[in-house]
Copies of this chain bind each other. A is one copy, B any other.
Amino acid sequence: MPMVYWSPTVCTPAGHWRSQREEFPVWLLHQLLSIIHTPWRMSLLRGLLGMELIGISVRPFLDFQERLTLLDSALILDVPLGVISRIEKMGGATSRGENSYGLDITCKDMRNLRFALKQEGHSRRDMFEILTRHAFPLAHSLPIFAFLNEEKFNVDGWMVYNPVEEYRRQGLPNHHWRITFINKCYELCDTYPSLLVVPYRASDEDLRRVATFRSRNRIPVLSWIHPENKTVIVRCSQPLVGMSGKRNKDDEKYLDVIRETNRQISKLTIYDARPNVNAVANKATGGGYESDDAYHNAELFFLDIHNIHVMRESLKKVKDIVYPNVEESHWLSSLESTHWLEHIKLVLTGAIQVADKVSSGKSSVLVHCSDGWDRTAQLTSLAMLMLDSFYRSIEGFEILVQKEWISFGHKFASRIGHGDKNHADADRSPIFLQFIDCVWQMSKQFPTAFEFNEQFLITILDHLYSCRFGTFLYNCESARERQKVTERTVSLWSLINSNKDRFKNPFYTKEINRVLYPVASMRHLELWVNYYIRWNPRIKQQQPNPVEQRYLELLALRDEYIKRLEELQLANSAKLSDPSTSPSSPSQMMPHVQTHF
């Protein structure tokens, strides 16, 4: 059992909650119970914050260095109801010890919260029931909070992604690739977006026949095309080969048509994200991979990335070593034994191979795993991020997520379990988190290449769970359309784009056409401490980053100088109107240094 970490201590005999410094009346507890009904935040905790969190017992966990900074400052717990994965009563009537009776709340964001409660009365039962109902609305026929949320923003994040525009940006349609509406009502593939890009030479009838041979009808469609060499990244699910080694002429021909969209290529490269043995094992359930015999003009490579279950267990081990206590004496070997960074390494290595193949112009690439909505989304989106600097801007990244993850049916509802009480559901897995972790690793290695900062990535992850926005709800576009998500909920991008400055990396230097190859070796990968260990007060928060501070000061100074120069020039020219002595406009002076603020 994890140790008590944050624990409001039990009420006094007088019916008061006791903190280390003050007592709070019991009405507060009831007030918070009533607050929970409406908002997305877990006001159980938040409601109390105005008057300091009750009875935080952090002292025993602090070093002398942290004493000064933490003990005297308010500690804030901000827990959206959506982040709750599990609520358990702890301690029975016979339990002893001051903090052993209460509630244990497991969160999806690496936290466990424990609240020690008064045993008298039924306050715990009430709290448990109300919390359970609102944390898991699906089980109680209640709406997810995003449908109740009436926040207003001055920009509409739902407008960020328009597939036609995004494909047009890529130069599509062109002579070889066409946009098809064959999936307009999701009748070809119910987990794919309505709009798809396919080879010009493949007819709608061809697509329907190929769909019969691909798991869940997820046929190969274009994700990205190289602006110069015109090689492409194509994504799909595994072929339905099965134990008997079935073949499908239409599928084979279709892959050849994809290859032929680029004349110079003799072989199409297929990256199967799975380990070889897993791909073989999938034959038992009707799946499999493209054999050399059937696909003459293709080369297949396995990328050895493990499945959702392995990733889930790996992240659990990470949690074990960082929360509530950080393993210190064998930190490095403990971290290694979680295999988390090793998985990150394999995902990045796979994406680098995809990007390198396409960037070199040697071959187009087809990527799939089993169903093509987990590892495939990781690989295509990371490769696109490496290849296309547009996706490294804030809006570009939002589009990338909307396109490769949301529209192509990464099963957010199943992987996260929004509003669902089955915390042990085997469908849950941190695949999207792993992708964001890979992006963070890239941003560490290329600190000037991304318009967004770490806070942007953390905010995305926070709202992956929060249920405050509709962005990550449901498993696919067709379900989202049925639920009218874009009409009835707010987009996460509304929050972000209405206050972009908070999420900007001041060091960003836009570079068109630069392909980023991160180094995917263990010596260059780091545990994302600011995300995974952020709840631990022993981890020093380097906020704000002093280097960033210095840079921002200098930017402000530059702006001040520009203003002064302009004033001075104005004064000068107004008085004399002598063009020969007036310098050029300050903003034109050194154009190679860009302004991002």
A: residues with CB less than 8 A from B are: 64-65, 326, 328, 330-333, 335-337, 341, 352, 356, 445-448, 507, 509, 517, 519, 521-524, 527, 529, 533, 538-540, 546-547, 549-551, 553-558, 560-562, 564-565, 567-569, 571-572, 575-576, 578, 581, 583, 586, 589-590, 592-593
Contacts and interface: CB of A to CB of B under 8 A. Distances in A.
A27 to B, nearest CB: 41
Contacts of A356: 64-65
Nearest to A329: B522
Contact of A551 (B546, B551, B560, B578): B551
A200 to B, nearest CB: 32
A561 B586 contact: yes
Contacts of A341: 332
Contact of A550 (B509, B521, B538): B509
Nearest to A509: B550
A567 B582 CA distance: 10
A593 B553 contact: yes
A533 B523 contact: yes
A155 B529 CA distance: 45
A554 B593 contact: yes
Contacts of A524: 540
A583 B558 contact: no
A522 B526 CA distance: 13
22 contacts: A64-B356, A65-B517, A326-B523, A328-B522, A331-B521, A331-B522, A332-B522, A333-B336, A333-B337, A445-B540, A523-B527, A523-B529, A547-B551, A557-B590, A560-B589, A560-B590, A561-B562, A561-B565, A564-B586, A565-B565, A568-B583, A571-B572
Contacts of A571: 572, 581
Contacts of A533: 523
Given A554-B593, A565-B565, A589-B560, A333 B333 contact: yes
A61 to B, nearest CB: 13
A540 B516 CA distance: 13
A547 B448 contact: yes
In the complex, the 3 A-B pairs of residues with the closest C-beta atoms, listed nearest first: A331-B522, A332-B336, A561-B561
Contact of A572 (B519, B562, B568, B586): B568
Contact of A447 (B547, B554, B561): B547
A158 to B, nearest CB: 34
Contacts of A540: 445, 519, 524
Nearest to A322: B523
Contacts of A336: 330-333
Contact of A539 (B523, B553, B564): B523
Most chain B CB neighbours (cut-off 10 Å) among A335, A337, A547 = A547
B553 A551 contact: no
Nearest to A446: B546
A521 B524 CA distance: 19
| Max chain B C-beta neighbours (<10 A), residue from A352, A551, A553, A557 | A557
Nearest to A352: B65
Contacts of A564: 565, 583, 586, 589
Contact of A448 (B332, B529, B546, B576): B546
A582 to B, nearest CB: 8
A331 B341 CA distance: 11
A558 B565 contact: no
A377 to B, nearest CB: 24
A553 B352 contact: no
